[in-house]
Structure 1
Amino acid sequence: MTLFTEYSYSRVMVFIDYRNIYESVKFLGDDVRLDLYRLTQILVGSRDLVGAYVFDARKRIPDKGDTTLATHDRLRDQGFRVIARESIVFRTEGQIEQKEVDVSLACEMLEHALLNHYDVAIVVSGDRDFVPAIQRVQAAGKRVEVAAIESVYNDECKRAADVYYLIDKMPIMSMSSPNDDMGVDY
């Protein structure tokens, strides 16, 4: 049971931390894929989707074989608004680290809340860094739902959310060939 009246929260915006979800899906196995389009449909349900954003990093000058731009184009073709920061940093272990992406997501979510563009924000990331932004959006009178993969879902993020979803418990995961280039479908 919830204190909120469901019908009064009909305008929804989705904010996806792409790299967080991409890395989280990799923990589930090389052959597991996540369809972001379908995930967004399920999370929004019968409510009105006002906008769906994907936040990611990209290289200023892509290497040969870099699929990031093609991935972003596929997401745009599906209707996502892609915000890609030129801020990829490589660690010594060969893993990618991104800068400015979490701040971009938090700023966009807060700006749209203050401009009254939505009633519900759905954050697709279990990153604790979003807790202050979630709390400020809630203080502005908005509801915040959070969805993430259980194994990397931060407890503070769960507590801050009005509603939280475990993506790996939803019937949207699919198996794919280990030769596919990404762990997330578009």
Structure 2
Amino acid sequence: MLGIFRKKKKETKIVYRYPNEKVVIFIDGGNMFHATNALKLKINYKKLVEILRKDRWLLRAYFYTGIPSGDLPKEVREQLKKQMGFLKELQNIGIKVKTMPLKKTPEGYIEKGIDILIATDMISLAFKNAYDTVVLVSGDSDFVPVVEKIQELGKRVENASFKKTSSYELRRVCDEFILLDNIKHRFTTPLYPETEKETNKDLFAKFINGIKKFLTRSKK
């Protein structure tokens, strides 16, 4: 009778490795932006790619994002200029950038078609046998059927994302999951370092100085 109350052992996925494993990395820029913006972090994508590729042969890393187009307000044009500078930096470090126009709505600009573009490239390269393992940097559950199709082609799929935008369904279906929150110190810096909260060391120093001033006044 007591056996029914025993906890089931947690299933662990077996990680298989290919000899001379070829890997491709697909980064969902919009998904990463929402996560890092909420966490107030800035990503060093060169370091991130190196972490995710491990000791494997990297075919290429892709970065996907939407960009505004058409007759743009001044503030949007200024933002676009910064974005294009950022995308140029990515290309300079060897990351292939792919973009699509953002869709304008009464509420602002939204991404449309980015997930389809990523999915098409992932499946296309899988059919061409260009890689053994694909690393999908996104938390979007829409990629679940894409992952399953790629696995049917005999490829491994790893998923990397921040907890803030991570999908349980996507994590579950992939062969391996990397929680970026656990390793963020290796590839991120604070987005606004000058406005960071005081560290415990700073607060302790202020506390000690306050006591010293109080004791000085008490002696007078």
TM-score range, shorter chain: 0.7 to 0.9
Q: How does 1:9-24 map to 2 (within 5 A)?
A: 10-24=21-35
Q: Which residue of 2 aligns with 1:54?
A: 63
Structural RMSD (CA): 1.9
Give the paired residue count.
175
Measured after TM superposition, the shift of residue 160 of structure 1 is 1.1
Number of the residue aligned with 2:135:
122
1:64, distance to aligned residue in structure 2 (A) = 2.7
Residue 174 (structure 1) shift: 1.7
Quick one: distance in 1 between partners of 2:191 and 2:102?
A: 30
Indicate which of 146, 152, 158 corresponds to 1:133: 146
Unmatched 5+ residue regions in structure 1? 180-186
Match of 1:83 in 2: 98
> 1:91 Cα shift?
5.4
2:52 corresponding residue in structure 1 = 43
Matches within 5 A, 1:106-117: 106-117=119-130
Q: CA deviation at 1:158?
A: 0.4
Q: CA deviation at 1:88?
A: 3.6
Higher relative contact order (CA 8 A, sep 6+): 1
Give the structure with the larger strand fraction. 1
Q: Secondary structure at the match of 1:42?
A: helix
1:184: which partner in 2? none
Give, as a single letter, the amino acid of the residue that structure 2 aligns with 1:14: I
Distance 1:24 1:111, change over 3 A: same
User: In structure 1, what is the Cα distance between the partners aligned to 2:104 and 2:193?
Assistant: 26
Which structure has the greater CA radius of gyration?
A: 2
- The equivalent of 1:8 in structure 2 is 19
**Mapped partners of 1:145, 1:14: distance in 2:** 9
Q: Does the aligned pair in 2 maintain the 1:52–1:81 contact within 8 Å?
A: yes
Matched, 1:71 2:71: no
The alignment status of 1:162 with 2:175, answered yes or no, reads yes
The answer (yes or no) to whether the contact 1:89–1:99 under 8 Å persists in 2 is no
Q: 1:175 aligns with which of 186, 190, 203?
A: 190
1:87 Cα deviation after fit: 2.8
Q: Distance in 2 between matches of 1:76 and 1:117?
A: 21
Distance 1:177 1:119 in 2: 39
Q: Please, which runs of 5 or more residues in structure 2 have no aligned partner?
A: 1-11, 195-220
Equivalent residue letter for 1:71 = F
Q: Secondary structure of the equivalent of 1:64? A: helix
Per the TM alignment, residue 85 of structure 1 is displaced from its structure 2 partner at its CA by 0.7
In the alignment, the residues of structure 1 paired with residue 96 and residue 170 of structure 2 have an alpha-carbon distance, to the nearest angstrom, of 24
CA distance in 1, matches of 2:148, 2:90: 28
106, 110, 124: which is aligned to 1:97?
A: 110
Rate the CA distance shift 1:49–1:27 in 2: closer, same or farther, 3 A. Answer: same
